[in-house]
Structure 1
């Protein structure tokens, strides 16, 4: 119960911050930025902002590699929250983390989507993509421009803080996924993965053993 209350408080607090405390939003500039990103017009976009936007997408895929299996065994499926997170990031994802119950089991067969999410190749692709994005942002980015936009633009400010929240919240789902794969009571391994931002979860996806299927149908 304490975990659920904390997650709801984080969710409500982040929304309140974005609405009332964050820098003002510049709608035209934000829409132009999104249009340029989605239409691959990247020439005049600060590489740090482009990398950060892409890394938020990487985080959504990392959570998907864990929570689509979890959602199979919950009363509520994960996919509506996954779709919501594509548009709203951590705001769409956090309610699922708060509503789900602890569950360390998986039953049924893996369809093609779950097999893709369970593949170590997916983890490797995400890791290599992350390394490339970080190198691009760190080496080619304009940090003075990013700091100025972080301080003056609500979209950049909120996206940056959402990235940090993705890092903070991942341990709430990690323990159950580890248990489903046979890592019982391995607290040292849990904290090693949980305390390394972004790359801890990525290495876990590259290394974790595939989840075993069963002939029984999944519980509703």
Structure 2
């Protein structure tokens, strides 16, 4: 109950801050989003470009945990995972508040779950995330980025959303480790923002998918 209340209060505080205390909207949010979404990046700080694209990788990272977690929940995980592509932690916090501990994998595996558990997906996400980090850090202008965070609501909230996703990720790892029969000490790796998350996806053991039951007719 304490966990549910904590996530609920955190969600309320995050929403309240974004709407009432973040810097005022400068009126250029929609054009900026359109430019970032369509690849019209001329004149935009590479740090902002990298951050925007990383916010598309984070939901994929969470999906690699949530779809297995959702198999044991009363509520489906996919609507929250899908909404996180546009809303980030704003969409994931309600799921974290509603979910129950799920240290065991239940239900039959399907192609979708196997996709999210795939090592190839982890490799692709790692490559994309590292490429964006290198691009942003090498090409970006930090002084301009800090200034934009202070005056632009979209960039300010997006930056906080990135931090929130980094902080929330370790809260799902304990159950994921249990489902994979891994040592709980692997949890420590997930604490490192973003890099720890992709390292965890790369190094974790596969889910112990049960082999299909052989029917009597098949056996004969």
| TM-score (norm. length: structure 1) | 0.92
Question: After the TM superposition, which residues 1-220 of structure 1 pair with which residues of structure 2 at under 5 Å, given as runs?
Answer: 1-27=1-27, 29-183=28-182, 186-191=183-188, 193-214=189-210, 215=212
Contact 1:122 1:206 in 2 (8 A): no
Contact 2:123 2:202 in 1 (8 A): yes
Gapped regions of structure 1 (runs ≥ 5): none
| Alpha-carbon contact 1:108-1:213 (below 8 Å) kept | no
Question: Is 1:25–1:154's contact at 8 Å kept on the other side of the alignment?
Answer: yes
Structure whose alpha-carbon radius of gyration is higher: 2
TM superposition outliers: structure 1 runs of 4+ over 3 Å = none
Contact 1:120 1:208 in 2 (8 A): no
Deviations 1:168-193 (A, max 9, x none): 1111111001100002xx343212x1
Higher relative contact order (CA 8 A, sep 6+): 1
Count of aligned positions: 212
Q: Give 3-state SS (helix, strand or coil) of 2:24's partner.
A: coil
Given that residues 70 and 106 in structure 1 are in contact (C-alpha distance below 8 angstroms), is that contact kept between their aligned partners in structure 2?
yes
**Unaligned residue ranges in structure 2 (runs of 5+):** 214-220
Superposed CA deviations along residues 167-219 of structure 1, whole A, max 9, x for unmatched, are: 11111111001100002xx343212x132111112111111121122348xxx
Q: How large is the Cα RMSD of the aligned pairs?
A: 1.4
Equivalent residues of 1:150, 1:157 under 8 A apart: yes
Q: Partner of 1:203: helix, strand, or coil?
A: helix
